[in-house]
Amino acid sequence: MIARPFPKRLASALVPAVPYLWLILLFLVPFLIVLKISLSDPAVAQPPYKPVFDWNDVLGFLSQLDLENFETLVGDDLYLRATLSSVRIAAISTALLLLVGFPIAYAMARAPARHRPLLVALVILPFWTSFLIRIYAWVAILKPEGFLTQALMALGIISEPLSILNTETAVYIGIVYAYLPFMVLPLYATLEKMDDTLIEAALDLGCPPWRAFWAITVPLAMPGVVAGSLLCFIPAVGEFVIPDLLGGSETLMIGRQLWSEFFSNRDWPLASAVAILLLIILVVPIVIYRDVEARRLETRP
């Protein structure tokens, strides 16, 4: 290592230091605050919780913290049901996304190489348009007198208007629609890299095509399946906009619960406790996702 003058070393140290400090200040510290407030009590004041941190009375501050909000969460089965229902809806949506996304990604990977960049661009393009607008577009399709009903009635398939809007089905459709690029792209990335001769080798060794698909293609696509599933599952659990616009009042989701505790009930400590609960559910998938992503990026040639 060549000794460099101090100003240069300082400049070089700033490269990691600036984003690092930014993330600590605006990502990590806010979490600690959420944790702290989840242990506080609501108050009719500004800010609407107590105790407020005070350097002169740290012990007194600590002694006022309690698990009361979490007791509320455990005690009221609304939150338990919301949690379970969020995880269930996210899991089913992820499975549906795999079902819908795999054939698309597979076909893209098999398309002639000169067409593939266009296909990828077409998958990404909707992502660049507003999420909110894309969900809004489905309201017009799914409502009882909406486009879907009109189309199916015109085709003579149904005679009564469908009422999909404000049901869980609508939430599934919305999540699959909004998250499809996040499923297709990682799948495509692994399938596209896959060596065709592996399939030929399997055929050559007496394995019929459909069996080769399960014995070779699917196992080798697993990294993409895992990345895509996590990329969809994690945000889906905490989804707010989709259940709010497409789901009915009976569609319980934890993100929606947090939103209403905060905005409607103005119970910041309870909202914080819900955020912590959501985080606890997601910490394992997030850690796995980070490892998968970091490994994928770091082992690239």
Partner 1 sequence: MNRRLSLFNVTSLVLGFAFLYLPILLLVVFSFNASRLVTVWGGFSTQWYVALFRNEPLMEAAWVTLRIAFLSAILATVLGTLAALALTRYGRFPGRTLFTGMVYAPMVMPEVITGLSLLLFFVAIGLDRGFWTITLAHTTLTMCFVTVVVQARLMTFDRSLEEAAMDLGAPPLRTFFSVTLPLIAPSIVAGFLLAFTLSMDDLVIASFNAGPGATTLPIKIYSQVRLGLSPEVNAASAILIGIVAVGVATATLLSKRSALRTQRNAH
Partner 2 sequence: MPPPLKSASVGAVRRSFSPWADPTATPLIRVENVTKRFGDAVAVDDLSVDIFEGEFFCLLGPSGCGKTTLMRMIAGFEEPSAGHLMLAGKSLAGVPPYRRPVNMMFQSYALFPHMNVEKNIAFGLKQDGLPKGEIAARVGEMLRLVQLEKLAKRSPSQLSGGQRQRVALARALAKRPKVLLLDEPLGALDKKLREETQFELMDIQHELGMTFIVVTHDQEEAMTMADRIAVMDHGRIVQVATPGEIYEQPKTRFIAEFVGDVNIIEGHVLGQESGLWRVGSNAAEAPLTIDDPDEVLNENQAVAIAVRPEKMVIQRERPETDAANVLFGEVWDIGYLGDWTVYRVKLDSGAIIRVTRANRSRFVENPIEWDERVHVSFAPDAAVILAE
Distance in angstroms (rounded) separating the CA atoms of residues 43 and 51: 9
Q: Which does 193 bind (CB under 5 to 8 A by kind): partner 2, partner 1, none?
A: none
Distance in angstroms (rounded) separating the CA atoms of residues 4 and 301: 31
* Pair of tokens at residue 132: 């909110």
Q: How many residues bind partner 2 (CB under 8 A)?
A: 18
Q: Which does 108 bind (CB under 5 to 8 A by kind): partner 1, partner 2, none?
A: partner 1
Cα 273 to chain centroid distance, Å, stands at 20
198 binds partner 2 (CB under 8 A): yes
109 binds partner 2 (CB under 8 A): no
Exactly one of 14, 118, 201, 294 binds partner 2 (CB under 8 A); which one? 201
Closest CB to partner 2 among 210 and 263?
210
Q: Which does 214 bind (CB under 5 to 8 A by kind): partner 2, partner 1, none?
A: none
Exactly one of 2, 44, 205, 284 binds partner 2 (CB under 8 A); which one? 205
Question: Nearest 10 degrees: CA dihedral of 160, 164, 166, 168?
Answer: 140
- Hey, is 49 helix, strand or coil? strand
9 binds partner 1 (CB under 8 A): no
115 binds partner 2 (CB under 8 A): no
Q: Which does 204 bind (CB under 5 to 8 A by kind): partner 1, partner 2, none?
A: partner 2
Distance in angstroms (rounded) separating the CA atoms of residues 144 and 138: 12
299 binds partner 2 (CB under 8 A): no
The type of residue at 36 is K
Give the interface segment with partner 2, choosing from 68-76, 113-121, 194-202, 240-248 (CB under 8 A): 194-202
In DSSP terms, which residues pair with 50 in a beta bridge? 41
140 binds partner 1 (CB under 8 A): yes
131 binds partner 1 (CB under 8 A): yes
The torsion angles phi and psi of 49, rounded to 5 degrees, stand at -155, 160
Closest CB to partner 2 among 59 and 205?
205
Output the DSSP codes for 159-224: SSPP--TTSHHHHHHHHHHHHHHHHHHHHHHHHHHS-HHHHHHHHHTT--HHHHIIIIIHHHTHHH
Closest CB to partner 2 among 159 and 197?
197
Exactly one of 195, 266, 287, 294 binds partner 2 (CB under 8 A); which one? 195
Q: How many CA atoms lie within 13 A of 53 on its CB side?
A: 7
Closest CB to partner 2 among 77 and 200?
200
Give the interface segment with partner 2, choosing from 158-166, 168-176, 206-214, 285-293 (CB under 8 A): 206-214
Q: Which does 78 bind (CB under 5 to 8 A by kind): partner 1, partner 2, none?
A: none
Q: Which does 198 bind (CB under 5 to 8 A by kind): partner 2, partner 1, none?
A: partner 2
Query: CB of 208 within 8 A of CB of 161?
Result: no
Query: CB of 140 within 8 A of CB of 146?
Result: yes
Q: Is the peptide bond before 117 cis (omega within 30 degrees of 0)?
A: no
Q: What x-and-dash track marks residues 59-98 binding partner 1 by CB under 8 A? A: ----------------------------------------
Angle (CA) 215 229 90, round 5° = 130
Smallest Cα–Cα separation from 243: which of 136, 166, 164? 166
Query: CB of 224 within 8 A of CB of 254?
Result: no
